[in-house]
Structure 1
Amino acid sequence: MKLGLLGGTFNPVHLAHLRIAEEAREGAGLDQVLFIPAADPPHKPLAGDIPFRQRREMVQLAIAGNPLFGISDIEARRGGKSYTVETLAALREEQPGNELHFIIGGDSFLELGLWHRYAEIFELASLVVIGRPGREIADPLQQLPEAVRGRFSRESADQLRHSCGTVIRFVAGTQLDISSSRLRELLAAGRSIRYLVPPGVENYIAQKGLYRS
């Protein structure tokens, strides 16, 4: 199975997350996409201190009814900081028969050199990079960290191949300029987030009183 992996704090999950997953699934020919909520994000504090359980429940509501989307709680189960490289290594052990494809936005791709043990990520999974608003990737090969650039070859305008056999595939994405931080700002100001998140997520946030100032 070609298994897509979409990580994030999902604080809260929104329609752009769902669209990214769908376009990655279609563009890379994935059989299923797993959403992986971060339990303990390593790079910045979790805004609003929303617990893992509630962020997981929002994702479950968001993907309900789509059999091609699933969710994994692996980052909560393994404990410690939610480093991508360690999550991918754990998933390789849990899913030995599956081909892993890690989904990231173009903005994250441009910052990969700052990630914990980033060079190992390319050996653990292929990458599916989705275009994001305002972050154009003019020459993907030259945008890779210099330390690993020599291990890649250019197969086509939208695909690079690592010497170990994994690939980086670039998929044009719908430019939905929605962010979790903007949603939190709207909610704190008492404004509507309708049509920015799935209805089930909107209702959950209202019922739980999340993100209110």
Structure 2
Amino acid sequence: MRQAGREGGLLVFYGGTFDPIHNGHLAIARCAAQELQVPVRLMPAADPPHRAPPGADAQTRTAMLERAVADDPALRVDRRELERARRLPGVPSWTVDTLRELRAEQGPQRPLALLMGADSLLGLPTWHEWESLLPLAHIVVADRPGSALEDGLPEPLASHLRQAWASGPEVLAALPAGRVWRLRQPLQGESATAVRALIASGGNWRPLVPAAVAAYIQARGLYGCTSTQ
């Protein structure tokens, strides 16, 4: 893997609520780190304006993230959205503002990429100022067999991305922004919604999250977890 923070190298950010972080999230991040040969920075959302309030607060979700990636040099935690929320309380945590902040920090030529799942890509037209995202960063979409991407993209997303598809990961390092690359990653069935439901119902949820995260959830009784689970 290339040296982290190498001057001018590709920076990859994987945003989300991570409520909680689970093995499916980690599979996507690790696959991207391996294919792109750079670390992936997991970036917990402080105040996702387009979703219901998370089941755990931002500091708790971040603590779980830090435990999940503690022994993996390919993964990092980036707290910038939490820090911005502290500076600007009550201001929504829009992804486009995060990318503008990153672009201002890194300059116009540093390659930046936003990692997301196929469902997130399909929902892109519902995001705040979504058409401004691609000029600021590449998009790496974690695809898998049977995903909705195989049936084609709906308009206006298809038109917006038609000229943006990259032939390979090397393109992302050569340009600062503007390309979309499909990352083929192992099929994982986990979802945060399913994990929370299993915890609340007393189901078999532990195999779906890292051991350190499972211990943290149980110790703090998160998501309705009881001491007997």
Distance 1:158 1:75 in 2: 27
Contact 1:3-1:30 at 8 Å conserved across structures:
no
Instruction: Provide TM-score, normalisation by structure 1.
Output: 0.87
The residue aligned with 2:30 is 22
Query: What is the number of equivalent residue pairs in this alignment?
Result: 209
Q: Is residue 58 of structure 1 aligned with residue 69 of structure 2?
A: no
The residue aligned with 1:90 is 101
Contact 1:122-1:166 at 8 Å conserved across structures:
yes
The residue aligned with 1:33 is 40
The amino acid that maps onto 2:81 is: E
Helix, strand or coil: the match of 1:171? strand
Instruction: Provide TM-score, normalisation by structure 2.
Output: 0.81
How big is the shift at 1:56? 0.3
Distance 1:165 1:62 in 2: 29
Distance 2:71 2:49 in 1: 31
The amino acid that maps onto 1:37 is: P
CA deviation map 1:121-151 (0-9, x unaligned): 001111111115752313667766256246x
Decide which moves more: 183-192 or 7-16.
Answer: 183-192
The residue aligned with 1:5 is 13
Contact 2:141-2:181 at 8 Å conserved across structures:
yes
The residue aligned with 1:137 is 149
Task: Give identity over the alignment, percent.
Answer: 33
Structure 2 counterpart of 1:45, from 32, 52, 62: 52
The amino acid that maps onto 1:23 is: C
Contact 2:138-2:176 at 8 Å conserved across structures:
no
Identify unmatched segments of 5+ residues in structure 1. Answer: none
Structure 1 counterpart of 2:215, from 176, 196, 203: 203
Distance 1:184 1:85 in 2: 28
Aligned alpha-carbon RMSD (Å): 2.7
The amino acid that maps onto 2:49 is: P
How big is the shift at 1:93? 2.3
Contact 2:113-2:140 at 8 Å conserved across structures:
yes
Structure with greater strand percent: 1
The amino acid that maps onto 2:34 is: E
How big is the shift at 1:76? 1.4
